[in-house]
Amino acid sequence: MENLIFSLNATIPIFLVMVIGYILKNLKFLDESFVNTLNSFNFKITLPVLLFRDIAGSDFLDVWDGKYVMFCFLVTLFCIAFTWIITSKVYHKKDQVGEFVQASYRSSAAVLGIAFIQNIYGDSGMAPLMIIGTVPLYNIAAVLILSFTGPESEGLRPVALKKSVKGILTNPIIIGIAAGMLASLFQVHFPAIISKTVNNIAVLATPLALIGLGAGFEGKKALAEIKPTLVCSFVKLMLWPALFLPVAALLGFRDEKMVALLVMLGSPTTVSCYIMAKNMKHPGILTSSVVVATTFLSSVTLTFWLYLLKSLSLI
């Protein structure tokens, strides 16, 4: 019972804040324009500042773990390649292969993931190392997959790949991590005025991100393409954690590292998938359905995985 209470305390408050965002949107306190602005503000300002604060305030050399970063990278690469190969052979709707593959591996690591870890440990924990190992690959793989599988596909378009690389280099999350690493490595000590200002911005990240996610939730879209949506959701929320969390345990990863891996493997599909799919001429219906379904179902699956990890004394 103690482990179950721990798991519920870690997950339910997060999803309740999302529910509040959803209710506020339906009560017309928030409109779509505000939600879009809020999501942009979180992505470009509050989340990078949060990551910068947590990394800059730690000894980065002391927490750096090359084996962990490489594990995150290789597992993500396997998930992408395996799903692409299998889906290309068995999925009858060839124009949806790219959407299925992207939605099955691309987690909401920076937004919901950081909120999840912060709710347990009080800071971003090992999320920055996990992000370093996954997010650049997320973006490059998405461009490759969506380019080759698009309705008007002509193979990989150099313009799209160049745009993806530029997007990685200018990604606010990556910039926040890099700036925090430099501040930590050079042991930069900020005056109290600066530190408190940074902290005041950082504390906004989690609640605003969750309200934005909840307000953007559209349940009706989950009814579209219901069968592939359920299969893709199962792969995203259950299959990858079941395959790779035991491997992580055997490699000795515990506590914050294990929770960050759970976020990488089993958190909901990020909304960015839908935006990228639409920008690359895909219908986006399957992607939006998976985003909605995984966001809803993860309230149960994340609690289950967290309970299991706690029961096995891995966290």
Amino acid in the structure at residue 79: C
Report how far residue 11's alpha carbon sits from residue 213's, in angstroms, rounded to the nearest whole number: 15
Contact 98, 149 (CB under 8 A): yes
Which residue's entry shows tokens 């519920």? Answer: 8
Q: Quick one: pLDDT at residue 234?
A: 96
Token representation of residue 129: 């190392």
CA-CA distance, 265 to 240, in Å (whole number)?
A: 6
Give residues with Cβ within 8 angstroms of 238, minimum separation 6. Answer: 266, 301
* Distance separating alpha carbons of residues 33 and 42, to the nearest angstrom: 14
**The predicted structure's pLDDT at residue 232:** 94
- The CA–CA distances, whole Å, from 64 to 60, 130, 132, 158, 181 equal 6, 11, 11, 34, 10
Q: Please, what's the b/e burial string for 209-223 (b: 16 or more CB within 10 A of its CB; e: otherwise)?
A: bbbbbbbbbeeebbe
188: helix, coil or strand? coil
End-to-end Cα separation, the chain, in angstroms: 16
pLDDT number for residue 150: 67
User: For the domain that residue 130 is a member of, what is the CATH number?
Assistant: 1.20.1530.20
Residue 107: φ, ψ to 5°: -90, 160
DSSP state for residue 269 in the 8-state scheme? B
pLDDT value for 260: 87
**pLDDT confidence of residue 236:** 95
pLDDT tens digit string along 199-223? 899 888 878 877 887 887 776 666 6
Digit-coded pLDDT (tens) for 176-206 = 888 888 888 888 888 989 999 998 998 888 7
Handedness of CA 155, 229, 285, 45 (dihedral sign): negative
The predicted structure's pLDDT at residue 315: 84
Spatial CA neighbour of 57 closest among 49, 65, 46: 49
Q: Which residues of the chain have pLDDT under 50?
A: none
Of 61, 42, 17, 6, nearest to 217 (Cα)? 17
pLDDT at position 152, please?
Answer: 59
The DSSP code sequence of 126-139 is THHHHHHHHHHHHH
pLDDT of residue 151: 64
- Type of residue at 221: K
How many domains, the chain? 1
CB neighbourhood size of 290 (10 A): 31
C-alpha distances (whole Å) from 279 to each of 110, 144, 163, 206, 308 are: 21, 14, 12, 27, 39
Residue 201 is predicted with a pLDDT of: 92
Question: Could you list the residue range(s) of the whole structural domain that residue 139 is in?
Answer: 2-311
